[in-house]
């Protein structure tokens, strides 16, 4: 069976480091981190009191106030990023067959803000006061449902939950959907908004997050020997994927071509990665096999790189296993150093960063990388962007439960 070629024609992002493609890229390459003190709730009793919040998002740019009240923040962020991607692709409703247009969304947790609010209402005011919008605001698949309604996309619609690999998985699912001829166009990405006391309490209890509360700008420091955990963030990223034939038929601008997708499971531990990066390596190998390219052709890897001791080391070992000596020739960076960890939205936002590296011929840095761990000895693009030839990129997204997704894109060649 001949597979359709899949291209990216639109991108939209809402992130702590900047929203909109230009602001996002400027933020990534500035050498600064968006991490700061939590402003949403009282954190005085928490061991971690910092996060990467989105400060420049106004939902009223995209939604009527009456509609906004019926949507959890994770849905609002999704609509903002998806609308930006739709506009960036130059889509016109009359050009799109709604039955050949679909949606794929990744979210790790979904509408936790609504869940906690309504649970409090139940406890303090009784069951009769729980909102009739509770369930359709909270359920994880509702972002995909709302996007389908907004854009009249009646084709395949799926929500993938693979923890912090969720939106990488969603992009892979959308890529396959077009490859196998089930749709001409897919709006794919991820969204997450769980900067809440309950989620903070859970991650604090796991001792998974950085406690560098007095120096938040330097808290997210992937591959650095002083790293002490990830920093939670929020945001959304969406891409418009199209079959090459459909994109050409409407004269669309093409950013890049998706050429490979790999996925795997560590089958090792509920939260820790395999210590040798076994699942991560398998995911990357499968993406390379799917793309039909050699490891030497990869120019840049946007690493999962969360700033945890075990995770960063495991990914480094996996990259060395897959790429051999070429691991020391390519560029590897973690943009989580700037954005914080956007959980289920991370994969899509980082894929956008990877594609912009192709567009700009520049690699965004790993900020706060002042003293690389001796066992993390690759070119992690410390603190400043690097101008270099970027034709082919890989983006990794790994999640709790050992679920992994790797995507490969290359510069579009007609």
* Residue 300: CATH number of its domain: 3.40.47.10
pLDDT at 2: 83
Q: Which of 314, 333, 311 is closest to 322 using CA atoms?
A: 314
Torsion region of 258: left, alpha or beta (phi above 0 gives left; psi -120 to 50 gives alpha):
beta
Q: Are 103 and 147 in contact (CB under 8 A)?
A: yes
Q: What is the pLDDT of residue 372?
A: 92
Do 230 and 358 fall into the same domain? no
Give the span between the Cα atoms of 302 and 395, in whole angstroms. Answer: 5
**Among candidate residues 249, 271, 301, the one where a domain is terminated:** 249
The confidence score (pLDDT) of residue 414 equals 86
Catalytic, 164? Answer yes
Residue holding tokens 């809440």? 196
Tell me if 367 sits within 8 A of 384, measured CB to CB. no
Domain stop point among 249, 284, 307: 249
Provide the pLDDT for residue 160. 98
CB neighbourhood size of 78 (10 A): 34
Note whether residue 256 is domain-resident: no
Tokens of 241: 């994927």
User: Considering Cα of 206, then 207, then 209, then 214, what sign does the dihedral take?
Assistant: positive
Residue 56: HSE in the Cβ half-sphere, 13 Å Cα cutoff: 13
Whether 337 contacts 344, CB under 8 Å: no
What is the value of pTM for the model shown? 0.97
Please answer whether residues 252 and 184 qualify as being in contact, where contact means their C-beta atoms are separated by less than 8 angstroms. Answer: no
Helix (H, G, I), strand (E, B) or coil at 414: coil
Q: Which two tokens stand for residue 261?
A: 């997708």
Sorted by sequence, the CB contacts under 8 Å of residue 403 that are 6+ apart come out as 162, 163, 165, 169, 263, 264, 265, 266
In the prediction, which pLDDT does 174 show?
A: 98
Instruction: Please state, in angstroms and rounded to a whole number, the distance separating the CA atoms of residues 167 and 308.
Output: 20
Q: Which residues pair with 104 in a beta bridge?
A: 158, 188
* Number of Cβ atoms within 10 Å of the Cβ of 120: 10
Regarding whether 392 and 276 lie in a shared domain, the answer is: yes
Q: How far apart are CA 130 and CA 197, in angstroms?
A: 20
- CA 328 to CA 33: how far, in whole Å? 26
Using CA atoms in the order 319, 321, 322, 328, what is the torsion angle rounded to 10 degrees? 60
Q: Clarify whether residues 38 and 123 are in a common domain.
A: yes
Please tell me which residue in 164, 204, 274, 376 is annotated as part of the active site: 164
Q: Which two tokens stand for residue 49?
A: 């009191």
Q: Nearest 5°: phi and psi at 29?
A: -95, 5
E strand or H helix that includes residue 399: strand 392-399
Both 275 and 186 in one domain: the answer is no
Classify residue 125: in a domain, yes or no. Answer: yes
Considering 249, 282, 304, which residue would you say is the last residue of a domain?
249
Residue-number span of the structural domain to which 339 is assigned: 262-410
Q: How far apart are CA 76 and CA 79, in angstroms?
A: 5
Q: How far is CA 217 from CA 23, 127, 390, in A?
A: 18, 43, 29
- 224 with 300, same domain: the answer is no
- Catalytic-labelled residue, pool 204, 274, 341, 376: 341
Q: What is the pLDDT of residue 10?
A: 98
In the chain, how many domains are there?
A: 2
| 341 annotated active-site | yes
pLDDT, block means (10 residues), the chain with 414 residues: 93 98 98 97 98 97 95 98 98 96 98 98 98 97 98 98 98 98 98 98 97 98 98 98 98 98 97 96 98 98 98 98 98 98 98 98 98 96 98 98 98 93
pLDDT reported for residue 211: 98
Question: Could you please report the per-residue DSSP string of 153-200?
Answer: --S-EEEE-BTBTHHHHHHHHHHHHHHTTS-SEEEEEEEE---SHHHH
Write out the E strands in 266-382.
Answer: 300-302, 331-333, 362-363
Could you say which of 70, 304, 326, 376 is catalytic? 304
Q: Active site includes 304?
A: yes
Non-local (6+) Cβ contacts of 149 within 8 A are none
Is residue 214 located within the same domain as residue 339?
A: no
Residue 254 lies in a domain: no
Cβ pair 380, 222 in contact under 8 A: yes
Tell me, yes or no, whether 245 and 288 share the same domain: no
The two structure tokens encoding residue 20? 């909109």
- The confidence score (pLDDT) of residue 292 equals 98
Do 293 and 222 share a structural domain? Answer: no
């Amino acid at each position: 069976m001949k597979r359709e070629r899949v291209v990216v024609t639109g991108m939209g992002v809402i992130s702590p480091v900047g929203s909109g493609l230009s602001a996002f890229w400027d933020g990534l390459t500035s050498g600064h981190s968006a991490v700061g003190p939590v402003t949403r709730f009282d954190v005085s009793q928490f061991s971690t009191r910092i996060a990467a919040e989105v400060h420049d998002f106004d939902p009223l740019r995209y939604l009527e106030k009456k509609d906004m009240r019926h949507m959890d923040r994770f849905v609002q962020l999704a609509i903002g990023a998806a609308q930006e991607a739709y506009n960036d692709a130059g889509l016109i409703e009359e050009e799109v067959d709604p039955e050949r247009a679909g949606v794929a969304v990744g979210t790790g947790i979904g509408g936790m803000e609504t869940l906690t609010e309504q649970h409090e209402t139940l406890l303090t005011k009784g069951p009769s006061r729980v909102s009739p919008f509770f369930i359709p605001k909270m359920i994880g698949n509702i972002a995909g449902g709302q996007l389908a309604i907004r854009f009249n996309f009646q084709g395949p619609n799926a929500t993938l939950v693979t923890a912090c690999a969720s939106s990488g998985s969603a992009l892979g699912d959308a890529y396959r959907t077009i490859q196998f001829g089930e749709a001409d166009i897919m709006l794919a990405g991820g969204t997450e908004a769980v900067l809440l006391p309950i989620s903070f309490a859970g991650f604090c209890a796991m001792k998974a997050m950085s406690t560098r509360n007095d120096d938040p700008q330097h808290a997210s420091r992937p591959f650095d020997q002083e790293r002490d955990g990830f920093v939670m963030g929020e945001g959304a990223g969406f891409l418009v994927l199209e079959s090459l034939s459909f994109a050409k038929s409407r004269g669309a601008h093409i950013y890049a071509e998706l050429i490979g997708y790999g996925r795997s499971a560590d089958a090792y531990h509920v939260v820790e990665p395999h210590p040798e990066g076994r699942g991560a390596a398998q995911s990357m190998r499968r993406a390379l096999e799917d793309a039909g390219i050699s490891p030497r052709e990869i120019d840049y890897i946007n690493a999962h790189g969360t700033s945890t001791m075990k995770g960063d080391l495991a990914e480094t070992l996996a990259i060395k296993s897959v790429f051999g000596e070429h691991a020391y020739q390519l560029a590897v960076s973690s943009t989580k150093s700037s954005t914080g960890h956007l959980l289920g939205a991370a994969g899509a936002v980082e894929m956008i960063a990877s594609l912009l590296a192709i567009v700009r011929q520049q690699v965004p840095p790993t900020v706060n990388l002042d003293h690389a761990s001796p066992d993390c000895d690759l070119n992690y693009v410390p603190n400043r962007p690097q101008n270099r030839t970027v034709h082919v990129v890989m983006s990794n997204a790994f999640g709790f439960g050992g679920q992994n997704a790797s995507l490969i894109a290359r510069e579009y060649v007609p």
